[in-house]
Amino acid sequence: MHPQRSEPASRARSEPSTTVTLAPRSSSADRSSGANPGPSVPPSGPACRSVFHEKIAAEMDDEKKKRKLLKWHDMPRYLQFNPYILTGYRPVQSVWDCVHSLFYFHNETINILTHGVPIVYILVTVPGLLPWKNHPEYDLIGHVLPWCHLVGSVAPWVGSFFYHLFMNCELGGERLYHRLLQMDMLGIWMSQSIGAMPMVIATVHCMPLLLKYPLFAFYVVLSIWGLYKALTAWSPWERRLCFALPFLMRVFFCGLRSLGLAGGNPDALLHVILQDAVSAVGGAIGAMHVPEKWFPGRLDAWFNSHNIMHVLVVTAVYSMHQATVKDLQWMADEGVCSARSAPEPEMAEL
């Protein structure tokens, strides 16, 4: 009787020990087979916060390096075009960093904004101010000339905006810089030639055919010559003098209008004079580097010659717009030429 009762008791005592010894073997087998022991607990506490802060600090350091402004002697030679602007230069950057430079201040910020804002303003307001209507004889006055004026008003700002924004881009280096400079000159040429077409055509509008078309063709030839010189010029003075002959031709037309020997709205004469006079003054100031030549390093961010030139040419285009609208309205009148050719009534004798 006692041996039968003691056998189950010994089995019961041995089972717990067997279970305890099998658990480590199973765990060891799982580890040797590469099984995942379970999800890892992410680090927390001061160590985790320290890693996070170091990452943020590294990103801020990278951002500061991208925004670090250089001095004149640190820049590549092709970007050292004004020896009197000593600080505030952006380093050579990627395309995205050039775009990002719109959101912090440097020595090109004023130049970018003064020609970037007019693009939006002109595209929004000017088309609604132009007299878009058909002329009874041809569509030149009603459709073509307003488009010439719109293109001539926007083109210089587009070229200048991209030139100043991406002039330090690393994508093409010096080669890209010269391409952007050519784009800038092309925009100026479009303003000086295509944008001036309404004034030129209004001037010769009432002239005889044998005089009207040769004068117009001569101005077109001078404009094409100016385009060639603008795209091949390699110095600031060459780039400015390439527009000298078309400029002198417009001065000649302005003289004819002031003497009453040519067409055009008489009320537009003041703006016809200002559109070229103000632009010429701005170009001369930019070429002479005044006033930063007198105060080197003190006018790096604003009020230097290029800033002044940008503001002056904006006012010149405003005068061009005023003169163009008046001339288009004047040419739309069918009787303007007959009124000019009609003799004035003689005063009755007393």
73 is in an annotated binding site: no
261, two tokens: 């020997």
* Residue 219, domain extent: 72-333
- How many domains are contained in the chain? 1
- For residue 153, is it within any domain? yes
Burial profile 302-315: b = 16 or more Cβ within 10 angstroms, e = fewer: eebbbbbbbebbbe
310 is in an annotated binding site: yes
- For residue 314, is it within any domain? yes
- For residue 220, is it within any domain? yes
The upper half-sphere exposure of residue 112, i.e. CA atoms within 13 Å in the direction of its Cβ, equals 19
- For residue 139, is it within any domain? yes
- For residue 289, is it within any domain? yes
- Per residue of the chain (350 residues), what is the pLDDT tens digit? 444 444 444 444 444 444 444 444 444 444 444 445 555 555 556 666 676 666 666 655 555 666 799 999 999 999 999 999 999 999 999 999 999 999 999 999 999 999 999 999 999 998 888 877 655 555 667 788 999 999 999 999 999 999 999 999 999 999 999 999 999 999 999 999 999 999 999 999 999 999 999 999 999 999 999 999 999 988 877 888 899 999 999 999 999 999 999 999 999 999 999 999 999 999 999 989 999 999 999 999 999 999 999 999 999 999 999 999 999 999 988 788 886 665 555 544 43
- For residue 270, is it within any domain? yes
39 preceded by a cis bond (ω within 30 of 0): no
Q: What residues form DSSP beta bridges with 70? A: 89
Tell me the C-alpha distance between 46 and 320, whole Å.
67
Is the distance from CB of 150 to CB of 118 less than 8 angstroms? no
- Number of helical (H) and strand (E) elements in the chain, helices listed first: 13, 0
- For residue 34, is it within any domain? no
- For residue 214, is it within any domain? yes
pTM: 0.79
Is the distance from CB of 317 to CB of 153 less than 8 angstroms? yes
Burial profile 11-42: b = 16 or more Cβ within 10 angstroms, e = fewer: eeeeeeeeeeeeeeeeeeeeeeeeeeeeeeee
